[in-house]
């Protein structure tokens, strides 16, 4: 009986998430604007193992030929083709021979741009995330793009998945029970903009967006006194306007 109740509860949760799934128009905008507006939204993944949900607390925006830090800087390849559209697709790449990272494709179809989902706050399916990650620290589960992908069982097989119509999606608002206790409206005023992590040739654009003070944000955190000048120390607070 317990298993049946859990399945019913998960089915109801998935239906609620699908009803509030972000439309394609949300993604068909400038990558910097989308990166900022994704803070506080719910990323979810339904699988045979169960449902996992995180609240997005950190993103990075990437362009195309105008962005030396982007995979699309030198044009389209077999590896980065998904990044060129259409918007609202998942761009998943494999890096360092062991890690996967999830990006959201943005802008117009044929234009190269995407948003890297760097970190999230676990909301649902937390024990499943613990099993997949093999760690026992809540703040280690999804604080980093590779950790998040592993916790949510996201790999290259999901490259090109339609976030508007598949088993993975992004929905509008975080439930009131999230650990940070915030809703989307209050979080919009708490978004910090900083330089992207690990890039030295990108002109210093403030294209990394984080939920200020959130312990689920990956290191180096922009508000940390220990952050070095090249790792996000020169952070500014942005309101909910366009970037």
Per-residue pLDDT of the chain (243 residues; tens, 9 = 90+): 456 666 667 788 889 999 999 999 999 999 999 999 999 999 999 999 999 999 999 999 999 999 988 999 899 999 999 999 999 999 999 988 889 999 999 999 999 999 999 999 999 999 999 999 999 999 999 999 999 999 999 999 999 999 999 999 999 975 444 544 455 555 666 999 999 998 877 677 899 999 999 999 999 999 875 444 444 444 554 433 333
Q: Span 20-178: which CATH code?
A: 3.10.300.10
Predicted model pTM: 0.86
Per-residue CA distances from 60 to 94, 129, 132, 167, 240 (Å): 17, 23, 25, 23, 16
Show Cβ contacts of residue 231 under 8 Å, excluding neighbours closer than 6 positions: 195, 197, 198, 220
Taking the domains of the chain in order of start, what are their residue ranges?
Answer: 20-178
Pairing of strands 42-46, 236-238: unpaired
């Amino acid at each position: 009986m317990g298993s049946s109740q859990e399945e019913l509860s998960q089915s109801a949760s998935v239906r609620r998430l699908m009803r509030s799934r972000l439309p394609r128009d949300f993604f068909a905008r400038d990558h910097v604007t989308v990166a900022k507006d994704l803070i506080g939204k719910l990323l979810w993944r339904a699988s045979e193992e169960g449902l996992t949900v995180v609240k997005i607390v950190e993103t990075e925006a990437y362009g195309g030929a105008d962005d030396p830090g982007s995979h699309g800087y030198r044009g389209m390849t077999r590896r980065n083709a998904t990044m060129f559209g259409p918007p609202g697709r998942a761009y998943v790449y494999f890096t360092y021979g062991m890690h996967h990272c999830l990006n959201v494709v943005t802008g117009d179809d044929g234009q190269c741009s995407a948003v890297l989902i760097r970190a999230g706050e676990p909301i649902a399916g937390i024990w499943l995330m613990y099993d997949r990650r093999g760690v026992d620290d809540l703040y280690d589960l999804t604080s980093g793009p590779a950790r998040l992908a592993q916790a949510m069982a996201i790999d290259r097989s999901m490259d090109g998945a339609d976030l508007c119509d598949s088993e993975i999606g992004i929905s509008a608002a975080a439930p009131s029970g999230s650990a940070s206790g915030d809703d989307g409206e209050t979080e919009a005023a708490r978004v910090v903009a900083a330089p992207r992590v690990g890039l030295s040739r990108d002109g210093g654009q403030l294209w990394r967006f984080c939920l200020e003070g959130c312990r689920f944000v990956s290191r180096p955190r922009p508000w940390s006194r220990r952050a070095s000048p090249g790792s996000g120390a020169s952070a500014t607070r942005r309101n909910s306007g366009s970037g």
